[in-house]
Amino acid sequence: MAKSDLSKLVALLPSPEAWVNTALQDFERFLQDHASAEKKASGMALSMASHYPDRLDLVSAMVDLAVEELNHYREVMRLLLGRKIGPSADRKDAYVTQLNKQVRKDAEYFLLDRLLVAAVVERRGAERFGLIAKHITDPEMKRFYAAITSSEERHWQLFVQLAWANCATGDIEQRFNELATYENNLVSTLPVAATLH
Ligand SMILES: [Fe+2]
Ligand SMILES: [Fe+2]
């Protein structure tokens, strides 16, 4: 697989300072939302695998990813159930909705944009799980969130590499940078809540 030069990509701007405290103050709500995000990430990977049956590298990566995200879902659900808490109803996620609107529907850009939107979403997830790992006091939760952070760090880079390998059209770094700039602005304008986004 061709390698993209990640150093040319627009840097992630840090989440608003209030975010991590808000999430830790209502940690049960955060866990419920985290569980829901993992479940959706697994579903998204499965739908990518179904939509591109001829792209075997993509199918293989998405099958592995679906299983990994579903394992994350199971782990977060175990944390919730250990606290005698069930899952919350899936909510409409304004962050993901706004980013999905940036996906161009033209056949020549659709896959590229889907992969790169997934990359910027995973990159933000990695940053936020990293903030939880850094600030939470419980050592077991610290370890858990540190492990989740490295997975999500790997995932956003995987999506960039898949874009590089599967999308001949357009300048991949330029498009990533447009979407990442949009995402940086979006994160600074959305209300801060005890949810992943
Ligand atoms: Fe995950
Ligand atoms: Fe992920």
Q: Where do the domains of the chain lie?
A: 19-189
Tokens matching residue 173: 């770094």
pLDDT for position 1: 42
pLDDT tens digit string along 58-115?
Answer: 999 999 999 999 999 999 999 999 999 999 998 889 999 999 999 999 988 999 999 9
pLDDT at 7: 84
Which structure tokens are listed for 183? 């995402």
User: Which one is predicted more confidently, 169 or 13?
Assistant: 13
Residue 91: predicted pLDDT: 85
Count of CB atoms situated within 10 Å of the CB of 18? 9
For domain 19-189, the CATH superfamily is Ferritin, core subunit, four-helix bundle (1.20.1260.10)
Closest ligand to the CA of 39? 1
Ligand 2 midpoint to CA 18 (Å): 23
pLDDT at residue number 94:
95
pLDDT of residue 167: 94
Q: What percent of the chain has pLDDT over 90?
A: 91
Measured from the alpha carbon of residue 37, the closest ligand is 1
Taking the centre of ligand 2 as the mean of its atom positions, its distance from the CA of residue 123, in whole angstroms, is: 9
Average pLDDT, the chain: 95
Within 10 angstroms of residue 130's Cβ, the number of other Cβ atoms is 19
Which ligand is nearest to the Cα of residue 65, counting in written order? 2
3-7, 28-32, 81-85, 103-107: least confidently modelled range: 3-7
Taking the centre of ligand 2 as the mean of its atom positions, its distance from the CA of residue 159, in whole angstroms, is: 10
Reported as a pLDDT band with limits 50, 70 and 90, residue 6 is: confident
pLDDT at position 5: 75
pLDDT of residue 19: 98
How many A from CA of 5 to the centre of ligand 1? 24
Distance 4 CA to ligand 1 centre (A): 22
> Distance, CA 101 to ligand 1 centroid (Å)?
22
Helix (H), strand (E) at residue 181:
helix 172-189
CA of 59 to the centre of ligand 1 (A): 18
Residue 28 has pLDDT above 90, yes or no: yes
Distance 70 CA to ligand 2 centre (A): 10
